[in-house]
A and B are shown apart, each in its own frame.
Chain A
Amino acid sequence: MDALFQFLLRMGDNTLVLGHRVSEWCGHSPILEEDIALANTALDMIGQTQLWLGLAGEVEGKGRSADDLAFLRDAWDFRNVLLVELPNGDFGQTMMRQFLFDAWNVTMLGRLMQSSDKRVADIAEKASKEAAYHVERSGDTVVGLGDGTEESHARMQAALDYLWPYVGEMFESDDVDAAMVEAGISPDPASLRGEFDELVGRVLAEATLTIPASPYAHKGGRTGYMHTEHLGHLLATMQWLQRAYPGAKW
């Protein structure tokens, strides 16, 4: 059961941390329509978080709610991949990060719809419709900016160069994954790589962007071994109200 709990934390922390990151754009986006679209995406991610962390709390059986898990854990207990905690950077970097995560998420959710655990399959089915829209939107934006002006192309290539070393972690496998595969709950992350590469390769080629050659991958987020310095700052902003006023409700 602990492996299932860890697996659910990984799913929920990915969407929680990315949802919070994307919400940081609210009121700051380059154009009104994108502002609303990003806020919608952030809310979708938080919605998926409620489902994943809600189930995580249930599976853990210690009476912790999704809110408890989101607001009352510290950085070392988070299990999100490093990619999603990286700073927003410019709009292009945010959209590139979104696309890389969306491409993984939509692939993963597609497989999880076949999960042997019906609760997991149900969440995946609901979330996959949102993810399908997200990846279409972020993919179109990556193409528009990548194959845009000289300036936008350079920024998108810089974003890809910066973010690509964080892609590999999404396909790492460990004991938790082995237990999930054994139980038929989740696929081996490594098995998603072909589908991901096909989708990402097609979009980035259309965006006239070049995938960096180095296979180097930063890791340590999904195992909790070591997050980047950015996660602590994000949590300080996200959690301060519950920390300063424990149990506050409105």
Chain B
Amino acid sequence: MSNEWPLWEIFIRGQHGMSHRHVGSLHAPDAEMAIKNARDVYTRRNEGVSIWAVEARHIAASSPEEKGPLYEPSNSKVYRHPTFFDIPDEVGSM
């Protein structure tokens, strides 16, 4: 049995209406302590209103070796970007 606590990935929502963003990772014995540790490590300067903790082993990740087949085909498809519309200023940031 490993003596290391499991690794958790921490996501914090900075303000209401925004989405949670990955801020980093930390070690904790369980989910509750992961949230407490996240509170102490990542929100001490008033950064957040909500914390998610996900044990790192539950995250499925794409493989870097597959980046060719996964991403390169979309390089040449500019028509997929919505850059051909005039967006009124009143819309604000999108």
Q: Which residues of A contact B (CB under 8 A)?
A: 31-33, 36-37, 40, 133, 136-137, 140, 144
Contacts and interface: CB of A to CB of B under 8 A. Distances in A.
B37 interface: yes
Contacts of A40: 40, 44
Nearest to B30: A144
- The 9 A-B pairs at the shortest CB distance, nearest first, are namely A37-B40, A33-B37, A40-B40, A36-B41, A36-B40, A33-B26, A137-B36, A40-B44, A33-B41
A101 to B, nearest CB: 18
Contact of A140 (B33, B39, B41): B33
Contacts, number: 28
Interface in B1-55: 5, 26-29, 32-33, 36-37, 39-41, 44
Interface of B: 5, 26-29, 32-33, 36-37, 39-41, 44
Contacts of B28: 33
A110 B83 CA distance: 57
Given A137-B36, A140-B32, A144-B33, A33 B44 contact: no
A140 B27 contact: no
Contacts of B44: 36, 40
- Most chain-B Cβ atoms within 10 A of its Cβ — which of A33, A36, A136, A144? A33
17 contacts: A31-B27, A32-B26, A33-B26, A33-B28, A33-B37, A33-B41, A36-B40, A36-B41, A36-B44, A37-B37, A37-B40, A40-B40, A140-B32, A140-B33, A140-B36, A144-B29, A144-B33
B5 A31 contact: yes
